[in-house]
Amino acid sequence: MNNNKTLLHILLVITFIFAGLSCISYFFVTLLQPTIQSYYSAHPEVLPGEMQTMMQQLLEVPRTYFAVSSLLYALELAGAILMWNLRASGFHCYTLARLLLLLIPLLFLGRAYVGLGDVMFALLYIAVYWMLLRQQGVLGEKKAEATDNGDGGGDADLPDSDKQ
């Protein structure tokens, strides 16, 4: 059981780092996109040929995409913090944010920007978090431990009204 909690904490630290940096990055791109756009249109020669194409594509992405993504990464980070404290609501926040983050590129950028690897990692993390939190008793029912009150019959499974 202790190894499962250690694995949970390792995965949560990875999520803290990834979601935290993504939230901050998308937030700053949301704020700075107009400035970058005006600077780049005045000085397109600062980037080599291939990078110019990439910068043009980046600047064509609506600011709303970056703002929504930043908020969803913040929700994912909040979910990870709640899961660290073994709260079921953290898993639900994380899962909702992760699934919506898969849909955002589809809605704003088109089908070509949805990566199979992103989908697989998202589903893998959700499944592993679900298993680890379930084993910790956070999701679903905790395994009832039989109590022996001296009569030889473990009656931990019975509701209190049936115990006599």
pLDDT at 60: 85
Residue 103's pLDDT is 93
Cα separation, 91 vs 4, whole angstroms: 16
- Mind listing the pLDDT tens digit of every residue in the chain (164 residues)? 578 899 999 999 999 999 999 999 999 999 988 888 888 778 777 777 778 777 887 888 899 999 999 999 999 999 999 999 999 999 999 999 999 999 999 998 887 777 889 999 999 999 999 999 999 988 876 554 444 454 544 444 445 544 44
The Cα 164–Cα 91 span in angstroms is: 38
Angle of CA points 35, 75, 37, to nearest 5°: 10
- Measure the CA–CA gap between 36 and 57, rounded to whole angstroms: 13
Report pTM: 0.78
The amino acid occupying position 116 is: L
Roughly what angle, to the nearest 10 degrees, separates helices 88-108 and 116-135?
A: 170
d(CA 3, CA 20): 25
